[in-house]
Amino acid sequence: MNAIAAPVAEDVLRRYDVSGPRYTSYPTADRFVEAFGADDYALALKQRRSGAAAMALPLSLYVHIPFCESLCYYCACNKIITKHHDKGAVYLRYLSREIDLHTALIGQGQVISQLHLGGGSPTFLSDAELRELMGMLRRNFSFVPGGEYSIEIDPRTVNSARLDTIADLGFNRLSFGVQDFDLAVQKAVHRVQPAEQVFELMGAARSRGFDSVNVDLIYGLPQQTPESFSRTLNQVVELRPDRIALYAYAHLPERFKPQRRINTVELPTGGSKISMLSGSLATFMGAGYVYVGMDHFALPEDSLAIAKRQGRLHRNFQGYSTQPDCDLIALGVSSIGRIGATYSQNAKTLEEYYDYLDQGQFPVVRGLALTRDDLVRRAVIMALMCQGELYYESIDLSFLIDFRSYFAAELSALELLAEQGMVEVDEQRVLVTRQGWFFVRAVAMVFDKHLQTDKTRARFSKII
User: Can you say which residues are annotated as belonging to the binding site for [4Fe-4S] cluster?
Assistant: 68, 72, 75
Asked if 289 and 244 count as a contact pair (C-beta separation under 8 A), the reply is yes
Separation of alpha carbons 173 and 242, rounded Å: 10
User: Cα(217)–Cα(197) distance, rounded to whole angstroms?
Assistant: 16
Cα–Cα distance measured from residue 318 to residue 374, given in angstroms and rounded to the nearest whole number: 20
Count of CB atoms situated within 10 Å of the CB of 321: 24
What does 135-171 look like in DSSP terms, one character per residue? HHHHHHEEEEEEEEEEEEE-GGG--HHHHHHHHHTT-
Give start and end residues of each alpha helix (H) in 251-407.
270-286, 303-309, 350-358, 372-387, 392-399, 403-406
State the binding site.
62, 68, 72, 74-76, 119, 152, 179, 191, 216, 250, 336
Annotated binding site for S-adenosyl-L-methionine: 62, 74-76, 119, 152, 179, 191, 216, 250, 336
CB 102 within 8 A of CB 44: no
Residue 252 CA to residue 258 CA, distance in Å, equals 10
- Whole-angstrom Cα distance, residue 442 to residue 440? 5
DSSP 242: S
